[in-house]
């Protein structure tokens, strides 16, 4: 990284570019402890700032996160409390130890009287950003959030720690594998340590009633997770989902396509105000989640049949984790089984018609709905039709054919495709790369056959509707 960030509080120009060892503006070292080279700013608040840094004591110079205590409020009492919370975060991360879904503490120290906390860097997007970018979550995605975070809360509570600020911005979807990570224990608390004065802390719209009164419990974190799931499922702010006249949540009508019964019941219990009606532990939630179908009922529409089998549930989970290559492989396996063949086998022209319409439409619905209408066979079919069913032009249009570094046309194989949301519309799923090796049917013929099969299936689906 060329960018460097000076953490000296009075630096007039904290960002510089170049491989400087010392800040060219204020002269302070750009390495903390002569080890951590600070780069870009991640965020800044009233009591500190967070930057991405690299650890030069390790051969690969891996990225990490450095939090600097930098209070802006002049009140001595507030600064003292904020400093206590800053130190507490380091203590809690050390208390939690190593967990694959919690950032690990690397160091806690003071330099020139300023406290610093160094922890593991998690590359990815928090769920608030995912919601803003992709819109309301599907039922399967909400279930994925519960299944991803409930075991983490069970671990955290088992170690005697309360997070106290569970919300979308504190749940990261890790880029490398799609796993959810619970971050920011700055509001955390040791459950066994009483406080002389109850501290009201957390994000108000996500905080449980007892937490706002300074009496947090493990159930308070579960409440925050429940509100998070309602927010992600509806796409609306929590304040818009609460009926102040009845004193209860009124979120179900705001869910696009309706609410799956069992999953809805779990969310309702997670956000109950009275503790006696709410889940008391993450283990209770985990037990109830066993009765939820992997993919909850989805809205129907022209050509869309909601998935019901475990295969489709697994496929939805992979897509929600941005694991598009794995989703592509599973799609092929489902098609092979639907054709009565061994998983990973070949399909021929005749197999396209033998695979039931229900399978083609369910798979297509999943690809479209989980990619914001970017991927799917029907998306590719529309492009193909608009190009006069010209296969060569289609391949250029959807990125299956590109120019190499020498400017020569290149046909991409399945392993060379872009398994990412940034791929051109119609780019995925890839069928040709898995298609047979004995010449019975080529990719071009398969595209025509599938285009016609989808047209037939859509017409049959439309004929069954009143």
Q: Which CATH superfamily is domain 310-464 in?
A: Gun4-like (1.10.10.1770)
Catalytic residue among 165, 268, 311, 351: 165
165 catalytic? Reply is yes
| Across 162-176, 249-263, 388-402, least confident range | 249-263
User: Distance (Å, rounded) from C-alpha 111 to C-alpha 8?
Assistant: 11
User: Distance (Å, rounded) from C-alpha 15 to C-alpha 25?
Assistant: 9
pTM (predicted TM-score) = 0.59
User: Distance (Å, rounded) from C-alpha 27 to C-alpha 215?
Assistant: 47
Domain map (residue ranges) of the chain: 3-120, 124-289, 310-464
Asked if residue 38 lies in contact with residue 51, where contact means CB atoms within 8 angstroms, the answer is: yes
User: Distance (Å, rounded) from C-alpha 331 to C-alpha 400?
Assistant: 19
Which residue, 4, 325, 309, 270, is CA-closest to 145? 270
H helices present in 417-442, as ranges: none
Q: What is the pLDDT of residue 28?
A: 61
Asked if residue 138 lies in contact with residue 298, where contact means CB atoms within 8 angstroms, the answer is: yes
Q: How many Cα atoms within 13 Å fall on the side-chain side of residue 381?
A: 17
User: Distance (Å, rounded) from C-alpha 195 to C-alpha 37?
Assistant: 37
Asked if residue 360 lies in contact with residue 377, where contact means CB atoms within 8 angstroms, the answer is: yes
User: Distance (Å, rounded) from C-alpha 355 to C-alpha 378?
Assistant: 16
Q: What is the pLDDT of residue 230?
A: 93
CA–CA distances in Å: residue 128 to residues 47, 124, 168, 170, 233: 22, 12, 5, 9, 12
The residue behind tokens 């102040």 is 244
pLDDT single digits (tens) 274-287: 999 999 998 888 88
Select 3-120's CATH number: 3.30.200.20, 3.30.365.10, 3.40.50.720, 3.40.50.620. 3.30.200.20
Strands (E) located in 220-291: 242-243, 248-249
3-state secondary structure of 287: helix
User: Distance (Å, rounded) from C-alpha 265 to C-alpha 284?
Assistant: 13
Whole-angstrom Cα Rg for the chain:
26
pLDDT at 343 over 90: no
The residue behind tokens 């063949």 is 341
| Across 349-358, 378-387, 443-452, 456-465, least confident range | 456-465
Highest mean pLDDT among 192-201, 251-260, 390-399, 424-433: 390-399
Which CATH number applies to 124-289?
A: 1.10.510.10
Q: How many Cα atoms within 13 Å fall on the side-chain side of residue 332?
A: 21
pLDDT single digits (tens) 13-67: 555 545 555 665 555 656 777 688 777 777 776 677 888 887 877 877 788 888 8
Q: What is the pLDDT of residue 434?
A: 42
Q: What is the pLDDT of residue 22?
A: 61
pLDDT single digits (tens) 57-102: 787 778 888 888 877 666 677 777 778 878 888 888 888 887 888 8
Which residue, 30, 34, 11, 12, is CA-closest to 21? 30
The answer, yes or no, to whether the previous bond of 429 is cis (omega within 30 of 0) is yes
């Amino acid at each position: 990284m060329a960018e460097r960030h000076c953490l000296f509080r009075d630096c007039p120009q904290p960002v510089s570019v170049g491989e400087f060892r010392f800040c060219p503006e204020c002269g302070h070292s750009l390495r903390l402890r002569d080890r951590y080279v600070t780069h870009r700013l991640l965020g800044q608040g009233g009591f500190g700032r967070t930057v991405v840094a690299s650890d030069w004591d390790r051969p690969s110079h891996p990225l990490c996160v450095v939090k600097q205590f930098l209070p802006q409020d002049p009140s001595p009492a507030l600064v003292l409390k904020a400093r206590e919370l800053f130190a507490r975060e380091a203590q809690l991360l050390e208390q939690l130890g190593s967990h694959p879904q919690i950032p690990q503490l690397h160091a806690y120290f003071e330099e020139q009287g300023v406290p610093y906390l160094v922890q593991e860097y998690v590359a990815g997007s928090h769920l608030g950003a995912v919601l803003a970018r992709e819109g309301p979550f599907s039922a399967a995605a909400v279930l994925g959030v519960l299944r991803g975070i409930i075991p983490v809360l069970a671990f955290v509570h088992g170690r005697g720690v309360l997070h106290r600020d569970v919300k979308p911005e504190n749940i990261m979807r890790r880029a490398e594998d799609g796993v959810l990570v619970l971050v920011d224990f700055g509001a955390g608390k040791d459950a066994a340590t009483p406080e002389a004065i109850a501290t009201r802390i957390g994000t108000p719209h996500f905080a449980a009633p007892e937490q706002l009164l300074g009496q947090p419990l493990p159930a308070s974190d579960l409440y925050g997770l429940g509100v998070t799931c309602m927010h992600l499922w509806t796409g609306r702010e929590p304040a818009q989902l609460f009926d102040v006249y009845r004193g209860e949540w009124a979120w179900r009508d705001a869910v696009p396509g309706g609410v799956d019964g069992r999953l809805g019941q779990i969310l309702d219990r997670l956000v109950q105000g009275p503790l006696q009606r709410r889940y008391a532990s993450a283990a209770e939630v985990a037990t109830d989640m066993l009765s939820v179908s992997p993919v909850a009922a989805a809205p129907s529409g022209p050509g869309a049949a909601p998935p019901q089998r475990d295969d489709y549930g697994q496929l939805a989970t992979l897509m929600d984790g941005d694991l598009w290559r794995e989703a592509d492989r599973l799609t092929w396996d489902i098609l092979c089984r639907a054709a009565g063949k061994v998983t990973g086998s070949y399909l021929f022209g005749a197999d396209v018609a033998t695979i039931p319409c229900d399978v083609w439409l369910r798979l297509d619905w999943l690809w479209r709905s989980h990619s914001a209408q970017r991927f799917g066979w029907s998306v590719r079919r529309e492009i193909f039709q608009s190009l006069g069913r010209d296969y060569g032009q289609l391949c250029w249009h959807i990125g299956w054919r590109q120019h190499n570094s020498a400017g020569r046309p290149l046909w991409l194989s399945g392993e060379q495709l872009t398994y990412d949301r940034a791929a051109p519309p119609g780019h995925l799923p890839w069928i040709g790369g898995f298609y047979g090796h004995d010449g019975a049917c080529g990719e071009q013929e398969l595209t025509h056959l599938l285009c016609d099969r989808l047209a037939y299936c859509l017409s049959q689906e439309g004929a069954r509707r009143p």
